[in-house]
Amino acid sequence: MTRSGLRLGSIACSLALAAAVAAAPAAAQKKGGSLTVGLELDIPGFDPLKVGVYDTAANIAATLMLETLVSLDDNGKPKPSLALSWSSSEDFRTWTFKLRPDVKFHDGTPFNAQAVKWNLERQKDPKNNCRCAFYISNIVSIDAKDDLTVVYTLKDPAVNFPALLTRPDQNQTVHSPTAIQAKGDDYNRNPVGTGPFVLKSWTAGDRLVVERNPNYWDKARPYLDRVVLRPLPDAQSRFASLKSGETDVVWADEAEADNIMRARNDKTLQVLTYAGSGAAVNAINTKVPPLDDVRVRRALVMALDRKKMSQALTNGLARPASNPYGDGSWVKCKDDGALPEDPKKAAELIKEYGKPVAFKMLFTATPRGRAAAQVYQQLWKQVGAEMEIEMVDQSTFPPRAFQRKFDVIGWRIVDFPDPDVQMFANFHTGSPVALANYSNPELDKLLQRARVTPDEAKRTEDYCAISRIINQEAIWFWTFQNTYYAMAKAKVKGVPKLYGGVIDVSNAWLD
């Protein structure tokens, strides 16, 4: 009797507590106000045909104005956005999505299945030659069965297909077909979506301003009246802007370890962090000497002491990585094929090569870029390799990468709910974004099989085998696991997990 009474009392208490917790956010959320976000980069635009692939700055802006069919919940699982529900065929090759009714683009035209179909077909059209097309090459066709039903037919099974539609990127955000056709080349800087905010003004290199969408389908949102996005490439300038009140939220990473620690010790500030999957990496152009010799590539990798690098560059904050998946991924490898850290063996491989080892490495023309360059240069010089530092503006980094105009270049594998999209794009023969210029039939076979296997354990085996080939051939090398950071004023509330480093303030509010 006593136990039952206690249990019932606990249940009643729990239910009351749950109700209070559930009610608290709604009661606490305040409407109004303006929020300013400091970005790492200026935004190149939003038309996939013009920009090819969105960077993190564009992703952050896209969350405000554009939407995807599916989004991620706090557990990293797919949840409804512009699509209310979805189902698949038994072989996972056909996926049917039921769309949200009564949604309009900012220009007043209806969002429907035809708009979704038009966006994807425009990207896939060979005449448009969009670099974005490779990321959706698995989609054979997309059909509008009626206004609110869209059906994807895939070349290969995709067991996690809804999760692949969640990133606010060049492929998955839905734009107004009417606006694209009306604006032509000008659309790149005049995006029209269904999102909670509408573009108000945009001054290149200075600021992009969005204002509350009065016709947003979720009548309770957004909470803010206005969001201002400001490109502030210099980390110290971003932090100073936060301290002075010029910005409310700023993008950050491990290279700003000192600022992150200062923010953690400042009661007026907060540090938002998310330990994700993926890694900071470097791609080696395997078609240019001396990097076309695997001995040289292995030597460069084996010369690196990641713990010392982390200490020198991030006060030990950055977590060393040995594969492309990271602790946040469901892919866990017992053997990822990582080469040992062995400067002595690295020097022997350089000597065995028998010719001078000299090459260039591309870094951003920023203080952190310079610091990283000097660390790499010193470690490689100790084993007999001469690296010339080439500093470039951040905006020229992606074009140089995609045009293969580099010897070694820094890059990043960002968080995806499934590794397939990025791994296939980065390493499969013929991919326009396979930066290493490397082709391997066995690697291709594993990449193809991993994307068609429903069994997660078997997929893990394939992805670990893929890691072993990449590591042994030393075509890319991983430095640090992805951990994402943002620093914000304490009054900023409602920012979700920083999936893929994207600071989503579309649902934020000010206390």
pLDDT digits (tens, 9 = 90+) for 195-224: 999 999 999 999 999 999 999 999 999 999
pLDDT for res 446: 97
Strands (E), 296-437: 357-364, 385-392, 408-413
pLDDT for res 15: 30
pLDDT for res 490: 98
Backbone CA torsion sign across 153, 158, 162, 166: negative
Cβ-proximal residues to 506 (8 Å cutoff; 6+ apart), any chain? 63, 64, 195, 196, 197, 221, 222
Residue where the block lists tokens 């952050």: 60
pLDDT for res 6: 27
Map residue 294 onto helix, strand or coil. Answer: helix
Do 351 and 383 meet the contact criterion of CB atoms below 8 Å apart?
A: no
CB atoms under 10 Å from CB of 78, counted, come to 20
Counting DSSP H helices and E strands in the chain, the numbers are 16, 18
pLDDT digits (tens, 9 = 90+) for 465-502: 999 999 999 999 999 999 999 999 999 999 999 998 89
pLDDT for res 208: 98
Do 319 and 268 meet the contact criterion of CB atoms below 8 Å apart?
A: no
pLDDT for res 293: 98
List the structure tokens of 116.
């979704």
pLDDT for res 418: 84
pLDDT for res 288: 97
Pick the closest to residue 397 from 367, 369, 362 (CA basis).
362
Per-block average pLDDT, block size 10, for the chain (511 residues)? Answer: 28 32 54 97 96 94 98 91 97 96 98 98 97 91 98 91 94 98 97 98 97 97 98 94 98 90 96 91 97 98 97 92 89 96 98 98 91 97 98 89 95 82 90 93 95 89 98 97 95 94 97 95
